[in-house]
């Protein structure tokens, strides 16, 4: 990858264990880091974010090479991995920390995010009204180290085997057929 031309995007689509695991195996993604954004407390902990009182969302910050994978492709993956019609939840994960949110850095990125939401809505992938927030990016706080690559280290943990694993398998099948995954 050309490290001089890398870009970043930060968004939340439910539990970051699911999202981070998938993005880390995409061609063109240098890193996907689990963390927190959108809240009012500096250096929040996982326990604090889980209360819903800090205002943060569980997010993934992706560093990628736009010559290999486009912003639009990343958005397609984002909308594949979570249901953007569920307000402040994903399945049984309930709370504002699980909200669907895209953090944009400038007006051009906001416009691209609006276009991605519109394209996803028009695709009919999800029925219902999209509730994905578009919020100016302010700060990203990396989650505790044990959250990074959590699924890879804990595939047999009950939540991982029941929720994360099946989501990753569905993701691998779909995006593998499109040739978008790194070789295992």
List the catalytic residues.
15
Cα gap 97→28, rounded to integer Å: 27
Cα gap 164→162, rounded to integer Å: 6
14 SS3 class: coil
Cα gap 49→51, rounded to integer Å: 5
168 SS3 class: helix
71: number of Cβ within 10 Å: 17
């Amino acid at each position: 990858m050309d490290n001089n031309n890398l870009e970043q995007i930060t968004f939340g689509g439910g539990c970051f264990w699911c999202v981070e695991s998938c993005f880390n195996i995409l061609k063109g993604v240098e890193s996907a880091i689990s963390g927190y954004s959108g809240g009012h407390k500096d250096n929040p902990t996982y326990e604090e974010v889980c209360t819903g009182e800090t205002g943060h969302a569980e997010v993934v910050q992706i560093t990628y090479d736009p010559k290999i994978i486009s912003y639009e492709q990343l958005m397609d993956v984002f909308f594949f991995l979570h249901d953007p019609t569920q307000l402040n939840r994903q399945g049984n994960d309930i709370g504002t920390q699980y909200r669907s949110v895209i953090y944009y850095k400038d007006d051009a990125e906001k416009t691209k995010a609006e276009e991605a939401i519109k394209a996803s809505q028009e695709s009919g992938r999800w029925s219902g009204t999209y509730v994905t927030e578009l919020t100016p990016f302010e700060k990203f706080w990396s989650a505790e180290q044990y959250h990074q690559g959590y699924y890879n280290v804990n595939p047999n943990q009950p939540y991982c085997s029941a929720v994360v694993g099946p989501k990753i398998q569905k993701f691998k099948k779909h995006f593998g057929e499109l040739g978008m995954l790194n070789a295992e």
